[in-house]
Amino acid sequence: MRPLAKAPAEALARVRFVLTDMDDTLTHRGRLSACTYDALERLRDAGIPVLPVTAAPAGWADQMARMWPVDGVIAENGGLFLRRTADGDVERRYWHGEEERTLAARRLEQLRQAIHAVLPEAELASDQSFRLCSLAFRLPSDPALRTALVRHFRNAGAEVTVNSLWVLGWFGGYDKLGMARRVMREVHGLDIDAAPETVAYAGDSVNDAPMFAHFPTSVGVSTVIAFLSDIPRPPAWITRGPGGDGFVELADALLAARTPSPFFPEPRSAGDHHEP
* Those residues with Cβ within 8 angstroms of residue 146's Cβ, 6 or more apart along the chain or in another chain: 139, 140, 162, 167
CA 25 to chain centre: 8
Give the percent of the chain with pLDDT over 90. Answer: 91
H helices of 83-208, in order, are: 98-118, 143-155, 176-188
Position 266 pLDDT exceeds 90: no
Position 274 pLDDT exceeds 70: no
Q: Do domains 13-95+174-258 and 98-170 have the same CATH topology?
A: no
DSSP assignment, residue 241?
S
pLDDT grade, residue 174 (50/70/90)? very high
Of 270, 62, 52, nearest to 179 by C-alpha is 52
What pLDDT sits at residue 18? 98
pLDDT grade, residue 164 (50/70/90)? confident
Its pTM stands at: 0.90
Residue 27 · residue 60 · CB < 8 Å: no
Fold of 98-170: Alpha-Beta Plaits (3.30.70)
Could you state, in order of their start, the residue ranges of all structural domains in the chain?
13-95+174-258, 98-170
Of 32, 261, 57, nearest to 166 by C-alpha is 57
Give the percent of the chain with pLDDT over 70. Answer: 94
Question: Regarding predicted confidence, which is higher, 262 or 237?
Answer: 237
* Those residues with Cβ within 8 angstroms of residue 18's Cβ, 6 or more apart along the chain or in another chain: 43, 48, 49, 50, 51, 199, 200, 201, 202, 250, 251, 254
- Could you give the 3-state DSSP secondary structure of residue 162? strand
Summarised one tens digit per residue, pLDDT across range 198-257 is 999 999 999 999 999 999 999 999 999 999 999 999 999 999 999 999 999 999 999 999
Label residue 105 exposed, middle or buried (CB < 10 Å: 0-12, 13-18, 19+). Answer: middle
Label residue 146 exposed, middle or buried (CB < 10 Å: 0-12, 13-18, 19+). Answer: middle
Average pLDDT of every residue of the chain: 93
Summarised one tens digit per residue, pLDDT across range 44-70 is 999 999 999 999 999 999 999 999 999
| Backbone φ, ψ for residue 128 (5° rounding) | -60, -35
In CATH terms, 13-95+174-258 corresponds, of 2.60.40.10, 3.40.50.1000, 2.40.50.100, 3.40.640.10, to 3.40.50.1000
Strands 237-238 and 217-220 turn out to be: parallel
- Could you give the 3-state DSSP secondary structure of residue 51? strand
